[in-house]
Structure 1
Amino acid sequence: MTRIKVLVVDDEPDFLKLIKRRLSKRNIDVDVATSGEVALESLRKSPVDVLILDVKMPGLSGIETLKEIRKRFGGLSVIMLTGHGSVKSGIDGMSHGAYDYILKPFSIDDLLERIRAASEHSRLKKLDRGDV
C-alpha cells in the first residue's frame, strides 16, 4: 500500500516539528505549513491525502483556510485541530466540510487512526468521481 501523505498546518513550529517526527516514525509522509496561506500554496504544488489544520492561526484562520480548500481542492479530507477543549470550533469546521476534528492535546495513536480513516475516505471519494 502507498504511504499516506499528510500536510499539517499549525502556527507553532515546535508542535509541527514534534508531530512530523512522530508521524514519520509511523510511515506517514508529512509536510508542514505555518499558516493557511502557506498551506494553500503547498497544496497547489503538491497534493496530499489528508490535511490536518489548526483552527486558531494568525492571518487566515483554520475555518477561512478550510473554506478556500473547499473551493480549490474540494475532495480533500481535512481534520481540524482545536485546542483548549473547544468542541464548538471543531463542530464549526465540520459544518464547513471538515472530515473530522480532534482536540489538543491528543494521543498520536488517536490522530493516526483518524488520518487512516480520512485517507480511506479521500480514496473512496476519488473512486466515486473516477479520478483513480
Structure 2
Amino acid sequence: MRKIRILLIDDEKGFSSVLAKRLTRRGVEVITAEDGADGLFKLDMDFFQVVILDMKMPGMNGLQVLKTIKNRHPGVEVILLTGNADMESALAAMNAGAFDFILKPANTEILTNRIYDAAKSCHITMDKAG
C-alpha cells in the first residue's frame, strides 16, 4: 500500500512540527504549510490525498481555505482542526465538504485513523495527479 500523503496547514509552527513528527512515525508522509495561501499553492503543485487544516489562521481562515480546496480539488479530503468547540463552525465546515472536524489538541491515534479513513474516501489517485 502506498504511503498516505497529507498536507498540514497550520500557522502554529510548534504544533505543526510535533504533529508532523507523530504522524510520520505512524507511516503518513506529511508536508506542512504555514497559512492558507501557502497551503493552496502546495496543493496546486503536488499530490495529496488528505489536508489537515486549522480553522483559525491569519489571512484566509480554515472555512475559506476549505471552500477553495473543494472548488479546485474536489477529490481531496479535508479534516479541520480547531481549538474552539464551535458547533456553528463545525456545521459550516461539514456543509462545505469537510471530511471531519476535530478539536485540538487532537489525539494522535484518533487523528491517524481519521486520516486513513479520509484517504480511503479520496477520489484521486497518483495516476490522475500526474
After TM superposition, the score normalised by the length of structure 1 is 0.91
Query: Percent of pairs identical after alignment?
Result: 37
Cα offset, 1:47, TM superposition: 1.5
Secondary structure of the residue aligned to 2:102 is: strand
Residue number in structure 2 paired with 1:8? 8
Q: Quick check: 2:49–2:124 contact (8 Å CA) kept in 1?
A: no
Q: Counterpart of 1:111?
A: 111
Q: Which residue of 1 aligns with 2:98?
A: 98
Matches within 5 A, 1:15-30: 15-30=15-30
Please name the residue that 1:66 is paired with. 66
Deviations 1:51-98 (A, max 9, x none): 000111100110111111111111110001111322332221111111
Offset from partner CA, 1:9-56 (integer Å, 9 cap, x none): 111000010011100111100000010000000011111010000111
What letter is aligned with 1:36? G
Would the aligned equivalents of 2:8 and 2:30 in 1 still touch at CA under 8 Å? yes
Cα RMSD of the aligned pairs, angstroms, is 1.7
Map Cα deviations across residues 77-128 of structure 1 (whole Å, 9 max, x no partner): 0001111322332221111111111111221000001000000000xx348x
Q: Which one-letter code corresponds to 2:101 in the other structure?
A: Y
Matched, 1:79 2:92: no
Return 5+ residue gaps in structure 1 as ranges.
none
Output the amino acid matched with 2:16: L
1:37 alignment counterpart: 37
Structure 2: 5+ residue stretches without partners: none
How many Å separate the matches in 1 of 2:113 and 2:43? 23
Moved over 4 A (4+): none
Matched length: 128
Aligned partners of 1:36 and 1:59 also within 8 Å = yes
